[in-house]
């Protein structure tokens, strides 16, 4: 696959749920699930053959409802968590289920058009609320899951078949949690939530114990966050104000980096797993932006200072890797705009197999696999 070329994969229905294979890093694999009002939703397993630059897909039937979110297990390459809505009588409610793929994804002789999951385990969330925002696999404990339901964070211990509420918003008539993610650090004991314009981290060992809080992190609703896998106290957030912000939660008063290159709501933000100065964001403006936050990354030059709050402007694409004296680091700012989508881009995910490759998904059912431009890749590596 050439760096300047993107591969497009089209789905039959609208979609907003995208996940990247986490447990195995040998293959470039993405999961996409549809959001159709009809009871014929699908989950697509899309593999990239890097030698031939061809996409191969296997399609599973997902008759349970319209999929709003997908998450891939970091422990089992065959395990996914799906959050979906369905109609019960006249009421629309949500459920979450663990989907296990079969060991072989090759269709059997005489099999129907769609493949079937080996196992579907529906989690018991009805007692906690009706609106499920996400189900997140624990980063180190394969038996533990966290589910954000209405104004609660519910922990599921699969081994003991036990559940408990570790965080709850008790006040009435206030916004519910928007989403949440496990912190990669702190022995896996902290779960970070988004609530209206604020970010809160809870210690799951002590119910409703807020470890730290960033009030008014954004001027409007915060929609997504990601934890820097290489720098312990850094997270990135994006929201309806169209601003991408990097925070060091040891100082919650002010962000350490910010860019406002999106023209509408930001729906998804992701740190690159290996080179965390690279951040992807996608939004309702139909664009995917590649931003460099090198001054606040784990690869920041020791002598370098600066808050990254806008000192680095857009980098000219023809710059290449010219070296003047000491090694020239990639400047902070917007590196590249990917504008092949024609609808709101709800999801963006890095590949775990190739640190320079990523997928983005727009609501019209178009998934595009792209690569970091060659000049930025070489400027980081050389």
pLDDT single digits (tens) 114-141: 899 999 999 999 999 889 999 999 999 9
Residue 361 predicted with pLDDT over 50: yes
Beta bridge partners of 278: 292
Residue 228 has, within 13 A of its CA and on its CB side, a CA count of 23
Domain assignment present for residue 203? The answer is no
Are β-strands 66-72 and 79-88 bridged in parallel, bridged antiparallel, or unpaired?
antiparallel
Domain assignment present for residue 85? The answer is yes
Domain assignment present for residue 190? The answer is no
Lowest average pLDDT, out of 97-101, 165-169, 339-343, goes to 165-169
Q: According to the model, what pLDDT value does residue 304 have?
A: 41
Q: In what order do the strands lie in the sheet with 257-259?
A: 222-227, 234-239, 244-248, 257-259
Query: Based on the structure, what is the number of domains in the chain?
Result: 1
Residue 35 predicted with pLDDT over 80: yes
Q: According to the model, what pLDDT value does residue 307 have?
A: 43
Residue 182 predicted with pLDDT over 50: yes
**Confidence class of residue 25 from pLDDT cuts 50, 70 and 90?**
confident
CA angle 121, 153, 219 (to 5 degrees): 125
CA angle 37, 113, 98 (to 5 degrees): 60
d(CA 339, CA 346): 14
Total Cβ atoms within 10 A of residue 80: 27
Residue 342 predicted with pLDDT over 50: yes
d(CA 169, CA 177): 8
Residue 317 predicted with pLDDT over 50: no
d(CA 224, CA 282): 10
Give the ranges where 149-301 is alpha helix by DSSP (H): none
> Which tens digit of pLDDT belongs to each residue from 230-264?
999 999 999 999 999 999 999 999 999 999 999 99
Per DSSP, 253 falls in state T
Domain assignment present for residue 38? The answer is yes
| Mean pLDDT for the chain overall | 88
Q: According to the model, what pLDDT value does residue 247 have?
A: 97
Q: What's this model's pTM, rounded to 2 decimal places?
A: 0.89
Domain assignment present for residue 341? The answer is no
Which tokens belong to 78?
């065959």
Domain assignment present for residue 307? The answer is no
Domain span holding position 119: 1-106+113-123
Residue 173 predicted with pLDDT over 90: no
Domain assignment present for residue 15? The answer is yes
Q: Which is higher by pLDDT, 160 or 118?
A: 118
CA angle 24, 48, 137 (to 5 degrees): 35
Residue 206 predicted with pLDDT over 60: yes
Residue 26 predicted with pLDDT over 50: yes
Domain assignment present for residue 92? The answer is yes
Q: According to the model, what pLDDT value does residue 231 have?
A: 93
Q: What is the DSSP string of 15-66?
A: EEEEEE--S--SSEEEEEEE--SSS-EEEEEEEEETTTTEEEEEEEEETT-E
Range 345-367 average pLDDT: 96
Look at residue 13 and give its three-state secondary structure: coil
């Amino acid at each position: 696959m050439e760096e300047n070329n993107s591969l497009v994969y089209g789905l039959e229905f609208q979609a907003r749920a995208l996940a990247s294979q986490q447990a195995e890093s040998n293959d470039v694999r993405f999961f996409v699930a549809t959001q159709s009002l009809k009871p014929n939703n699908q989950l697509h397993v899309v593999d990239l053959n890097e030698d031939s630059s061809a996409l191969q897909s296997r399609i599973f039937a997902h008759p349970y409802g319209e999929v709003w979110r997908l998450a891939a297990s970091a422990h089992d390459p065959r395990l996914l968590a799906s959050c979906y809505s369905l109609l019960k009588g006249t009421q629309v409610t949500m459920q979450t289920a663990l989907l296990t793929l079969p060991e072989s994804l090759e269709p059997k002789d005489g099999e129907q058009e769609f493949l079937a999951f080996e196992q579907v385990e529906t989690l018991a969330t009805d007692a906690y609320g009706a609106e499920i925002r996400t189900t997140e696999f624990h980063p180190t404990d394969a038996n533990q899951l966290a589910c954000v339901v209405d104004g609660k964070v519910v922990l599921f211990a699969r081994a003991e078949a036990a559940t408990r509420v570790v965080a709850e918003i008790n006040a009435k008539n206030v916004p519910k949690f928007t989403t949440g993610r496990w912190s990669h650090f702190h022995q896996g004991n902290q779960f970070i939530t988004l609530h209206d314009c604020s970010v809160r981290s809870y210690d799951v060992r002590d119910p409703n114990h807020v470890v730290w809080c960033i009030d008014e992190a954004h001027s409007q609703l915060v929609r997504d966050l990601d934890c820097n896998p290489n720098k312990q106290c850094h997270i990135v957030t994006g929201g309806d104000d169209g601003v991408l912000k990097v925070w060091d939660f040891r100082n919650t008063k002010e962000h350490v980096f910010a860019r406002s290159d999106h023209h509408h709501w930001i729906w998804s933000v992701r740190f690159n797993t290996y080179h965390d100065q690279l951040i992807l964001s996608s939004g309702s403006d139909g664009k995917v932006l590649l931003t460099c936050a090198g001054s606040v990354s784990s690869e920041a030059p020791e002598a370098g200072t600066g808050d990254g709050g806008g000192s680095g402007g857009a980098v000219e694409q023809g710059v290449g890797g010219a070296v003047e004296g000491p090694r020239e680091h990639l400047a902070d700012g917007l590196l590249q705009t990917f504008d092949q989508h024609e609808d709101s881009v709800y999801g963006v995910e890095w590949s775990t197999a190739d640190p320079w490759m990523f997928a983005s998904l727009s609501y019209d059912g178009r998934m595009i696999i792209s690569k970091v431009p060659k000049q930025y890749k070489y400027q980081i590596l050389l």
